[in-house]
Amino acid sequence: MTDIIQLLPDHVANQIAAGEVVQRPASVVKELLENAIDAGATEIKLIVKDGGKTLIQVVDNGLGMSQTDARLAFERHATSKIKSAEDLFQLHTKGFRGEALASIAAIAHVDLQSKREVDEVGSQLKIEGSTVVSQEIAVTPKGTSIAVKNLFFNIPARRNFLKSNQIELKHITDEFHRVALIHSNIAFSYYHNGSELFNLPQENFRQRIVHIFGTKMNERLVPVKEDTEVVKIEGFVIKPEYAKKSRGEQFFFANQRFIKSPYLHHSISAAYEGLMRSELQPGYFLQLTVDTGSIDINIHPTKTEVKFDDEQTLYAILRSAVKHSLGQFNVAPVLDFERDGNLDTPYKFQQKQAVFPKVSVDPTFNPFSDTSSKASPRSTSFKSATTTSKGWEDLFEVAKGESSSFSSVQFESSLPETQLFESEDKEIGGGAITFQLKNKFIVTRIKSALVVINQNRAHERVLYENFLTTLTNGKVVSQELLFPVSLQFTDPEMLIFSEIIDNLSAIGFKIEQKIREKELVVSAIPSLLTEANIGTVLGTMIKDFDSKELKTNFSNIELTAKHLAKSMAIKNGQALEQEAQEALVNNLFGCEEPQLSPFKKRTYITMADNELENRFN
């Protein structure tokens, strides 16, 4: 019987390794940026086309490579970062496995140009699917330029698995943020399809955060700093009043490397306890510096999941540091129920002696004499009172003389008794009587049944179908604003907005997108929207669209209609006038699918008359 175990060819082994290292274009961006940082670059340029599917290019001014190094860099387990197994526990670099470039070259077309400062000319290397096509001398500046083209060209199944260009671009932008944030001493520039998305100069950590997430972020940051024998903590947390439902602004860095740690995230949430609602998420940008021997970053190929030796101590220190910063900068409230602040002596009166009041007495005052002390204010006041009392006496005399006049007075009768529902059953749409319960439910009646409607979900359904009709038929009803409204958003939010701006224009919005200024200028809005709610509606819609987009198979038109309806719908807790209640009920039952909201939740329940009677048996 022949042997059945055999060694895999190198190109097959590289494609298998690529499945772990390269999951999508963002994985390539991460590896190439980290290589540029390890090469000592001070300026790094990232160029992307078609969400990274067509081109990912990273240009740096680092050390560069010789012709031999450029060729060996694409061999499996070839690296300059470590030489022995002991080096794995004293890591100070980003990439150390030696698998990234080999895996990338196995599934893409790679063009590498590199030159060291000591060399007169550099080298150019072209690889297609692990096969070296050419290697020759080239004139190139100091540093390295590596271009990855046609990702997954030889694995069609993996390429078909990729999402749309906008979604892949969002993942690339997230990786760019993680690398650029922690390396604020390096200048980064980022281009997509020829448009500049970021141009970040060398700066400090706070300035880098503001440049990436917008100028409004500066006033939201609270500095955190703690230095112990276990860990050194530096960075910022976001004030509780700016907490969001999404987890977009949460960054942990351990030894200059982005990490994910639910355990440490819980310590931050514990520090915010009592400062925000439970459904909101705290924001933070925290750098942790620990001994390299106390952290294991080699437990996952992406190196974002790490293991600390003493997580319990780290948890306690981090929670204490964040809580101290929130209290130090007067973010956390200080409550003292034993002291009344109204009884505190003002500062400017604390050193002064008490001033006793002076009492003046008029010894000549006689309240029973009209002639004594005529100049006295008290006597004048008394005389005035005696003269005016005559008017009350006259009024009393008139009342006695006309005792029968009360018979002509008509008292307001008690309000007529009304029934909760009309005696005759009415179908909805024929002026049904409604009332609101707890500012959340609308109760009305149909034939032989009681209907309880969730006003928020019902309005979502009504708006959703209206928006779908508008997007389909193109019948736009909008109102021009007298003064355009400018709104600031972050770059990830602007990327999401660029995908749905056409749909928003189709339902009545007129918006100018200024990507470089990270600004939206709204000059017209749908007739259903008020000017005061523009920022809230667009901000909420972009957040919801971002959080749901990757989890659904709906078209952009349906997603836009859903999340815009959710943003503009009547909220639970809002009081409605009688006419508004009846209009909402009639509009709901005029929908094609009134029973479910756009997010597949029940809009109303019914209770038959016999069910009500059975409850009293």
Stated length of the chain: 617
β-pair type (510-514, 519-526)? antiparallel
What 8-state DSSP symbol labels residue 413?
P
Q: What is the pLDDT of residue 1?
A: 55
Q: Is 413's pLDDT higher than 50?
A: no
Q: What is the pLDDT of residue 455?
A: 93
- Count H helices and E strands in the chain, helices first: 16, 22
User: Same domain, yes or no, for 190 and 320?
Assistant: no
Question: At 372, is the pLDDT very low, low, confident or very high (cuts 50, 70, 90)?
Answer: very low
Q: Is the residue at 396 inside a domain? A: no
User: Same domain, yes or no, for 197 and 213?
Assistant: no
CATH number for the domain harbouring residue 563: 3.30.1370.100
Q: Is the residue at 402 inside a domain? A: no
pLDDT in tens, 26-82: 999 999 999 999 889 999 999 999 999 999 999 999 999 998 888 888 887 666 655
Give the ranges where 362-490 is alpha helix by DSSP (H): 377-401, 455-473
Give the ranges where 474-608 is alpha helix by DSSP (H): 491-506, 534-549, 556-568, 578-588
pTM: 0.63
**Is there a contact between 243 and 282 (Cβ–Cβ < 8 Å)?**
yes
How far apart CA 514 and CA 523 sit, in angstroms, is: 14
Phi, psi (deg, nearest 5) at residue 232 = -110, 125
DSSP element (H, E) containing 614:
helix 609-615
How far apart CA 370 and CA 144 sit, in angstroms, is: 110
User: Same domain, yes or no, for 323 and 466?
Assistant: no
Q: Is 470's pLDDT higher than 90?
A: no
Task: Please state whether 194 falls in left (phi above 0), alpha (psi between -120 and 50) or beta.
Answer: left
Q: Is 397's pLDDT higher than 60?
A: no
Q: Domain ends where: 297, 328, 359? A: 328
Give the ranges where 42-149 is alpha helix by DSSP (H): 67-72, 100-106
What 8-state DSSP symbol labels residue 305?
B
User: Same domain, yes or no, for 64 and 176?
Assistant: yes
Q: Is 199's pLDDT higher than 70?
A: yes
User: Same domain, yes or no, for 196 and 215?
Assistant: no
Give the count of beta carbons closer than 10 Å to the beta carbon of residue 478.
17
Q: What is the mean pLDDT of residues 93-119?
A: 83
What 8-state DSSP symbol labels residue 281?
B
Question: At 175, is the pLDDT very low, low, confident or very high (cuts 50, 70, 90)?
Answer: very high
β-pair type (284-289, 510-514)? unpaired
Q: What is the pLDDT of residue 449?
A: 81
**Is there a contact between 501 and 511 (Cβ–Cβ < 8 Å)?**
yes
Q: Domain ends where: 328, 347, 372? A: 328
Q: Is the residue at 464 inside a domain? A: yes
Most confident of 289-298, 381-390, 589-598: 589-598
Tokens of 368: 């029973």
User: Same domain, yes or no, for 463 and 324?
Assistant: no
Q: Structural domain tally of the chain?
A: 3
Q: Domain ends where: 328, 357, 392? A: 328
How far apart CA 453 and CA 461 sit, in angstroms, is: 12
User: Same domain, yes or no, for 38 and 133?
Assistant: yes
Give the CA radius of gyration of the chain.
37
Q: Is 150's pLDDT higher than 90?
A: yes
Q: Is the residue at 484 inside a domain? A: yes
Tokens of 115: 């030159």
Q: Is the residue at 357 inside a domain? A: no
Question: At 92, is the pLDDT very low, low, confident or very high (cuts 50, 70, 90)?
Answer: low
Residue 54 makes CB contacts below 8 A (sequence gap 6+) with 149, 150
Find the Cα–Cα–Cα–Cα dihedral 231, 234, 235, 239, rounded to 10°: 80
Q: What is the mean pLDDT of the chain?
A: 79
Q: Is the residue at 356 inside a domain? A: no
**Is there a contact between 14 and 103 (Cβ–Cβ < 8 Å)?**
yes
Question: At 420, is the pLDDT very low, low, confident or very high (cuts 50, 70, 90)?
Answer: very low
DSSP element (H, E) containing 562:
helix 556-568
Tokens of 535: 């920022």
Q: What is the pLDDT of residue 380?
A: 45
**Is there a contact between 434 and 444 (Cβ–Cβ < 8 Å)?**
yes
**Is there a contact between 461 and 588 (Cβ–Cβ < 8 Å)?**
yes
Structural domain range at position 28: 10-202
Q: Give 179-182's long-range contacts (Cβ < 8 A, gap of 24+).
A: 179/30, 179/33, 179/34, 179/37, 179/258, 180/208, 180/212, 181/205, 181/208, 181/209, 181/212, 181/251, 181/253, 181/258, 181/285, 182/253, 182/256, 182/257, 182/258, 182/287
**Is there a contact between 109 and 128 (Cβ–Cβ < 8 Å)?**
yes
Q: For residues 515 and 437, which has the higher predicted lDDT (pLDDT)?
A: 437
